[in-house]
Structure 1
Amino acid sequence: MPVVHPEPPDGGWGWMVVLAAFFQSALVFGVIRSFGVFFMEFVGYFGELAGRVSWITSIGIAVQQFASPVGSALSTQYGARPVVMAGGFLSGLGLLLASFATSLTHLYLSIGLLSGFGWALVFTPSVASVARYFKKRRTLATGLAFTGVGLSSFAFSPLFQLLVDTYAWRGALLVVAGMSFNLVVCGTLIRPLTLKEDLAGPGDPGASCLGKLSTLFGLPLLSHGPFMRFVLAVTLINTGYFIPYVHLVARARELGFDEYQAAFLMSVAAVADLCGRLLSGWLADCRAFRLGHILVAWTSLTGISLALVPLGRGYPLLMAISVCYGFFSGALTPVVFSILPEIVGIGRIFGSMGLLQMMESIGGLLGAPFSGWLRDMTGDYTASFLAAGAFLLAGSLVLVTLPNFSSCLEISHIGTLDLGSPVPPTGSGLCL
């Protein structure tokens, strides 16, 4: 019989889960963020417009998010370990098949659909597992796990450019596929954890199969007003968030900088991203500021930095803006995932995170193609980055509308919200 923990242990084997999530975030979003190196290669090789090529990354991001409830439901039913291992295999297989592509459709299917689905089975269960192992130090643990994104983005952009120059884009994709298969190894480090709240879950033993399936996928959360408003905000944020990782390299090349100068912009942004995640984790866990206020601040600053990209026509200024974007965008990420358990309770973390990732996939699907379409229509990336910044600023405005944003009650009140009600009970609020 498994050992039941009354609350997250805040350490122990949890640090190994953080280590696993570190490598998983590196090999999922580190690869996605550095894929701009392949973007120019695909445009040149296939002779397609930027908007059409942008769909490769956008489909992958969207599938990773849209299929997240599947990963969450499977993790709830069978545990996160086998689900993450299966996802690691699929993500590597998709990149392997992409190296034989003869058309954009082939890349849509291999990278977009297959690798994207593998990323869905890896990312959401691993992040949720970190949240389940920590409570007081949850934001710091999440921030440490997500530093894998910053470090890998710093290393992968120039590495991928070197691989492309040495082996062409097909050989480079083969190497990236081999790297991605290491996600299977990372999955073995996720040890199952049984919490007391799991035994007192909302499931009804007498419910129908349809009802049990609905609970498994977290569908009762669709009637939870604050959760749905949070989802809307994150969707708007997500629409603009990834645009620099698809088009910033292309923007730099458009201004006349060589490929290594362009790739170095992403590397410097990645270092700033790493610093932002660590500072944000420490700042949130010291409880000097409310999580909601921290998130709104980071989101607004990220939007402003994106809107300033068109002003960076000289390399030093463009570098400075890239550093600001990397720091602010890195800082907001761990806060997003740390707030979620306080809204719905740790027992519903798998379902809520899956739904959040699925519904914000709208932003991931449309963001980069919309940016590419604006570039094709206007002839440069000015409108693209202005629109990206506007989406993040709109997301910060939605966050401000969450209940009791200007006040805060104890976190212990949050997990007891009745999910059958569209708003929190009288007298309770979100400790954001």
Structure 2
Amino acid sequence: MEGVPDGGWGWMVVCGMAGMFMVTMGVLPSFGIIFGDFLESLGEGTTSVTSITSVYISVCFLTGLPFNSLSKSFSFRQIGAVGAIIHFLGALLSSFAQNVIHLIVTYGLLQGFGLGLMIPAALSSFNSYFSERRTRAMAISQTMNGAGSFLMPLLVQLLVENYGFRGAQFLMAAITLHSLLGMMLLRPVEGYMKTRKLGLVLVIIERDDQVTQGKPLVKELASAEQEETSALAVELGASCKQSKLTNHKRTSSMRWNDRSCVFFRWIVELFDLSLLKDPVYINITIGVCFTNLSDITFFALEPIYLEQILGFTKAAISIVIAIGAAGDLLARVFLIFVSCGLSYRNRLIFFLGAVGTVVTITVFVFVSNYYVIATLTGILGFCRGCIYISLILVFSETIPAARFPSAIGLYHGITGVVFLSFGPLIGLVRDVVGSYPACFLTLSFLMSVCVLLWAAELVTRILKLKF
């Protein structure tokens, strides 16, 4: 029998994943600080900001769709390394941007594609190394990521002040190249699996599909494993017989001669679309998609709102963003200690984080005091930490380990479609209505979709238990 190491080299994978997220996703909330003045000089509105970030996230997640197929031909480390190089090239070319189209191609398409290869590779490698300690390991990884995200806005602001947006983006490109080091730590788990010796049994399948019994071909079996292995042999023989009968029935009842049927079958197997038959998986995916969209869009627009509408200075804005990152970091540290002493469902933590975010964003639009804004941003950061630590673990609790790469890839594809559809629409709401509060309330409403759908699922389960 084989088992995951639940540690060992897995802790190096944790460090690599944390470093990758730190220098890629950790920079995203600072997009407005780097490119805000440049886009304003071009006369571009909020739609351009949401369009660029939406393309970035959409391409990132859509790239996850073929990941399951790629992972069968290449290792997680190879896929992640290629993604790191592409992401670096996109960041480097963004420093030469002359217009919005340039940023959409370099920042949106190239960086999004590179990140789309790195994220599922890192998460799948992490998932293969941990089982019982998965929650604790994810909390540690996200805490390391949160520590970097706390310092990143301050670093970006310092770079912009001293080198301008082009010089700052050029240096940030060099920083993002460190994700390549993180991807090189994604070594295959096979060499670190815990093994347990089992005796060997050879099973002979006769022409009449009967398992030969009474003539053991190998007699030297470990006494502790003999009964377990014998049961395995009988099960193997029975499954072979059943497999032959099943294949015969399939052949006689359905022939895949029609090209359209063959293509459809190939699509279903390539992306493992059978997961869409599971209503719980669909509910989780939809909720997580809209939560992601609302969170990322809010933190991308907040710096612009604070500067253009509330009149805060860039230095004050960078401090507000850092406070939000500090709240994020606090949540991650808090969950590390909680996971050491308590056993809890990650989906519950995610749900509570979503509820807190909906309430806080709704309050946020009605205040303008600097200290209140900073406090609310810290609360939003804390809720964000709860969400992002639990995000992937929600799928790990629901989906078997063998189907995890497929589940993550399909989730990324659906999220990409959601970002591509709703991201520019949110920016359009701001430009048409002319109100940031209306835009933020729209984000709060979209995140409430997760809250309502998951609450409805919980009520349905309770009613089933009663009746």
Matched residue, 1:220: 274
1:284–1:363 Cα change, 3 Å: farther
- The question of whether the paired residues in 2 share the 8 Å contact of 1:84 and 1:187 is answered with yes
User: What amino acid sits opposite 2:42 in the alignment?
Assistant: F
Matched residue, 1:237: 291
Structure 1, gaps ≥5 residues long = 408-425, 428-432
Instruction: Specify the structure having the higher radius of gyration (Cα).
Output: 2
Matched residue, 2:165: 169
Alpha-carbon distance between aligned partners in 2 of 1:46 and 1:102, rounded to the nearest angstrom? 9
Matched residue, 2:233: none
CA deviation map 1:109-146 (0-9, x unaligned): 11100110000011121022212211112122112222
TM (norm. structure 1) is: 0.85
Alpha-carbon distance between aligned partners in 1 of 2:403 and 2:160, rounded to the nearest angstrom? 43
1:44–1:403 Cα change, 3 Å: closer
- The question of whether the paired residues in 2 share the 8 Å contact of 1:30 and 1:149 is answered with yes
> Is 2:410 aligned against 1:387?
no
1:272–1:38 Cα change, 3 Å: same
Alpha-carbon distance between aligned partners in 2 of 1:306 and 1:361, rounded to the nearest angstrom? 23
Alpha-carbon distance between aligned partners in 2 of 1:245 and 1:101, rounded to the nearest angstrom? 22
Alpha-carbon distance between aligned partners in 1 of 2:460 and 2:400, rounded to the nearest angstrom? 18
Residue 267 of structure 1 is aligned with which of 307, 316, 322?
Answer: 322
CA drift of 1:296 comes to 1.6
CA drift of 1:93 comes to 0.2
User: What amino acid sits opposite 2:287 in the alignment?
Assistant: A
CA drift of 1:366 comes to 4.6
* Alignment map for 1:87-236 (pairs within 5 Å): 87-194=83-190, 214-236=268-290
User: What amino acid sits opposite 1:227 in the alignment?
Assistant: Y
Structure 2, gaps ≥5 residues long = 195-235, 237-242, 251-255, 257-261
CA drift of 1:225 comes to 2.0
CA deviation map 1:399-429 (0-9, x unaligned): 223478767xxxxxxxxxxxxxxxxxx99xx
- The question of whether the paired residues in 1 share the 8 Å contact of 2:349 and 2:386 is answered with no
Alpha-carbon distance between aligned partners in 2 of 1:266 and 1:100, rounded to the nearest angstrom? 26
User: What amino acid sits opposite 2:55 in the alignment?
Assistant: I
CA deviation map 1:159-180 (0-9, x unaligned): 1122222222111111111111
> Is 2:377 aligned against 1:308?
no
Alpha-carbon distance between aligned partners in 1 of 2:267 and 2:425, rounded to the nearest angstrom? 35
CA deviation map 1:30-59 (0-9, x unaligned): 022221212412322322112123211111
- The question of whether the paired residues in 2 share the 8 Å contact of 1:281 and 1:334 is answered with no
CA deviation map 1:68-93 (0-9, x unaligned): 12334322431200000000000000
* Alignment map for 1:354-373 (pairs within 5 Å): 354-373=409-428
1:69–1:132 Cα change, 3 Å: same
Alpha-carbon distance between aligned partners in 2 of 1:192 and 1:282, rounded to the nearest angstrom? 29
Matched residue, 2:305: 251
Alpha-carbon distance between aligned partners in 2 of 1:368 and 1:39, rounded to the nearest angstrom? 18
CA deviation map 1:284-311 (0-9, x unaligned): 5644443333222111111111112113
- The question of whether the paired residues in 2 share the 8 Å contact of 1:237 and 1:392 is answered with yes
CA drift of 1:393 comes to 1.8
- The question of whether the paired residues in 1 share the 8 Å contact of 2:66 and 2:270 is answered with no
1:76–1:399 Cα change, 3 Å: farther
> Is 2:436 aligned against 1:378?
no
Report the RMSD for the aligned CA atoms in angstroms: 2.7
CA drift of 1:330 comes to 1.2
TM (norm. structure 2) is: 0.79
CA drift of 1:257 comes to 0.9
User: What amino acid sits opposite 2:389 in the alignment?
Assistant: P
**Which deviates the most, 168-177 or 395-404?**
395-404
Residue 9 of structure 2 is aligned with which of 10, 13, 24?
Answer: 13
Residue 278 of structure 1 is aligned with which of 324, 333, 346?
Answer: 333
Matched residue, 2:76: 80
Alpha-carbon distance between aligned partners in 1 of 2:5 and 2:298, rounded to the nearest angstrom? 38
CA deviation map 1:183-202 (0-9, x unaligned): 11211111111479xxx9xx
